[in-house]
Amino acid sequence: MPRYPWTDGPEYITQCPIQPGSKFSQKIILSSEEGTLWWHAHNDWTRATVHGAIIVYPKNGTKYPFPKPNAEIPIILGTFKLRVDHGKTYLLRIINAALHEALFFSIAKHKMTVVGTYGSYTKPLTRDYITIYPGQTSMSY
């Protein structure tokens, strides 16, 4: 994905801060990304609460390079509960929105298969847990 550094960085360094009550639009050009990305604020501590998922699905007529899940669940790490049906596969789109901490993510009595990270697919890798660093995303089932 083309990166535009003048809109991705600390306030007063790469751009002036967006004032409360004002609006800001940014055009994002996706080239070959598929997967989970995220957006977030950069000033003060707003990054802790002003953020969200960007999900780029496969192009029409193409498939995931892994078995299609029954459902997809975006998770921004924090407090959450998942209700799932036994025997179904769920693609978890995990985002670490923490400012400074790497987090460990696992599901009790379940192995995780990582199939992507930050907008691209990876060779499937099965683990008991995943470590996800600040700003990182992961797609796992």
- Scanning the chain, the segments in alpha helix (DSSP H) are none
Instruction: List the CATH number of the domain containing 25.
Output: 2.60.40
**Cβ atoms of 116 and 125 closer than 8 Å:** no
Domain with 115, as residue range(s), is 5-140
Tens-place pLDDT, residues 9-51: 677 777 787 887 888 887 777 777 888 888 877 766 666 677 7
Q: What is the pLDDT of residue 2?
A: 55
Strands in 41-119 per DSSP E: 51-56, 71-76, 90-95, 103-105, 112-117
Q: How many domains does the chain have?
A: 1
Arithmetic mean of pLDDT, 82-94: 90
